[in-house]
Structure 1
Amino acid sequence: MHQYFYLHGFASSPQSVKAKSLSDRFAQLNLPLTIPDLNQGDFTYLTLTRQLQQVEAELPAPPAPVTLIGSSFGGLTAAWLGQRQPQVERLVLLAPAFGFLSHWLPRLGYEQVQQWKTEGFLPVYHYGAEKMLPISYQFAEDAAHYRETELLRSVPTLLFHGKNDEVIPLQTSIEFAEARPWVTLVELDSDHGLTDASDIIWQGIQEFCSLT
């Protein structure tokens, strides 16, 4: 049986608007949607490596086919799982966080990045917890080891990205798709959250995944 997973974004949770919306839509089709809590009760020591290991442990035994839907940092995670796990047959990426550090660190500024590196922790707003939480500098060190140029497995991919994305520029997805003919990019009149494009995204998912 084909299994579907949704991977939420950085500093988010399985209770996010997108997660709940997709869960409800899958439920209407009597299809289960697995939504792991990527915070694992310890957001402070979150890393991309930890997220990959967590989801890999939750995947069904091969060769059961899997479709991954990922938002922002969860989209980046999904892309790497598609590279690493042959049973991942399809990817749906929502404003994936390609080049995450190259966009985030300059916004923090040199002094704040150096302070983060020196003190070891940076306070960030966690939308799921609705409060500031510290994130370890290990997060940045770990993410630096992953280079999108190595994402070369030809997994059929549907990619949605907003033209007005204020977090991850649309150009990152344009360049990613141009270099990979198996990726279909849909540009939306939306921002990073894509919440106002949920109907368009759901229609695309249904067609791409042949959901009825």
Structure 2
Amino acid sequence: MHYIYLHGFASSPRSTKAVVLKERFAKLDIPLVIPDLNQNDFTHLTLSRQLQQVEALFPPAPEPVTLIGSSLGGLTAAWLGERHLQVDRLVLLAPAFGFLDHWLQRLGEMQVNQWQTEGELRVYHYGEAQKLPLSYGFVTDAMQYREESIARSLPTLILHGKQDDVIPLQASLDFAKNRPWVQLIELDSDHALTDVSTKIWQAIQAFCAL
């Protein structure tokens, strides 16, 4: 089994969850691959680019892959699971279902229109601890991905915080509602989930039979 962790939007392989999980897997002598989805070019980040980058990391088929994804990395993992049969398990941490609607609504019509007109929006990047420009192509690319199309029956564990104000818990509840292969665990935490790392690890261990 190959394990790949996908960090969230405006994050990095140095994020708290990524570092903690890598250490936990290392104690079991299991490699955890954590690609840098920024690719030294956050400005031109798109969901499509993330999919292509991770696909290139897959071992030769049919070697199985377990994907663990946080936020936008979780959404990326869900789409990879839909497209590739060798993905045989998903662990999604506060996955960014419906993220475009939530984000654009929070930005407001005026700022979204300005972003579209000017072509770039400065976004705070937690991995770099500064604001970086992001192309409006991120939005137009994301619009082509309809989550109702994710329909492959695939063992999926979702862990989502009840106090998540970035991607509401309801987004995961809606996703799991008509997908009986999805197990959803609600946690008393926010979007970062950094204060429930032990519970997350226990759930991953049980789900992945580690």
Q: Normalized against structure 1, the TM-score is what?
A: 0.99
**Residue 155 (structure 1) aligned with residue 154 (structure 2):** yes
Q: What percent identity do the matched residue pairs reach?
A: 68
Q: Equivalences for 1:51-66 in 2 at 5 Å? A: 51-66=50-65
Q: Which residue of 2 aligns with 1:142?
A: 141
Deviations 1:43-92 (A, max 9, x none): 00000000000000111110000000000000000000000010000000
SS of alignment partner, residue 55 of structure 1: helix
Equivalent residue number for residue 85 of structure 1: 84
The correspondence of residues 63-78 of structure 1 with structure 2, limited to 5 A, is 63-78=62-77
Query: Following TM superposition, by how much is the alpha carbon of 1:9 offset from its aligned partner in structure 2, in angstroms?
Result: 0.1
Secondary structure of the residue that 1:58 maps to in structure 2? coil
Which residue is equivalent to 2:121?
122
Deviation at 1:111, TM superposition (A): 0.5
Distance in 2 (CA, whole Å) between partners of 1:45 and 1:19 is: 23
Superposition deviation, residue 145 in structure 1: 0.5
* Structure 2 CA distance for aligned equivalents of residues 18 and 59 of structure 1: 22
How big is the shift at 1:192? 0.3
Instruction: Report the alpha carbon displacement of residue 144 of structure 1 after superposing the two structures with TM.
Output: 0.5
Aligned length: 210
Moved over 3 A (4+): none
- Residues in 2 aligned to 1:37 and 1:84: alpha-carbon distance in whole angstroms: 21
TM-score by length of 2: 0.99
* Residue ranges of structure 1 left out of the alignment (5+ in a row): none
Within-5 A mapping of 1:195-206 = 195-206=194-205
Q: CA deviation at 1:120?
A: 0.2
Paired with 1:75 and 1:132, the residues of 2 have a C-alpha distance of 23
Mapped partners of 1:175, 1:108: distance in 2: 23
Corresponding position of 1:184 = 183
